[in-house]
């Protein structure tokens, strides 16, 4: 995703095995979809790494030095393309769990509303 006009995904690393059955989909992805992905995204550096004996994955390296790794074991080439586009469209920020359901600058004076009010 672009933040202030700058794409945040800097590098996409494709790890695969040339022998394993779980890498069948990513090998087909590299033949059919990867050249089009490189052509549509000239700002993105795409690197393929041969890692034997390991399940395939996609690693996104972002400008804020965060990394996201997505396992693409036994996925079809279309599903791998979807995961690659999700990595490209995300900002690379860490997921932060909120403490409450809603965040407000001015909490209610009466207290938090619940459905189990006692009368």
Give the gyration radius of the chain's Cα atoms: 20
Token duo for residue 73: 């074991």
Domains of the chain and CATH, by start? 13-89 (3.40.30.10)
Contact in structure between 84 and 58 (CB atoms under 8 Å): yes
Positions of the chain with pLDDT under 70? 117-119
- Pairing label, strands 9-16, 6-7: unpaired
In DSSP terms, 9 is beta-bridged to 62
pTM: 0.80
Token duo for residue 1: 């995703």
Q: What is the pLDDT of residues 6-22, one digit of tens each?
A: 999 999 999 999 999 99
């Amino acid at each position: 995703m672009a933040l202030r006009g700058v794409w945040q995904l800097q590098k996409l690393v494709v790890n695969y095995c040339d022998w394993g059955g779980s890498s069948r989909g990513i090998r087909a992805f590299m033949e059919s979809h990867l050249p089009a992905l490189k052509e549509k995204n000239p700002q993105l550096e795409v690197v393929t790494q041969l890692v034997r004996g390991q399940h395939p994955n996609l690693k996104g390296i972002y400008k804020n030095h965060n990394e996201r790794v997505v396992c693409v074991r036994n996925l079809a080439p279309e599903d791998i393309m979807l995961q690659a586009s999700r990595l490209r469209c995300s900002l690379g920020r860490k997921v932060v769990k909120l403490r409450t359901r809603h965040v407000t600058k001015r909490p209610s004076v009466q207290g938090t509303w619940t459905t189990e009010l006692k009368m």
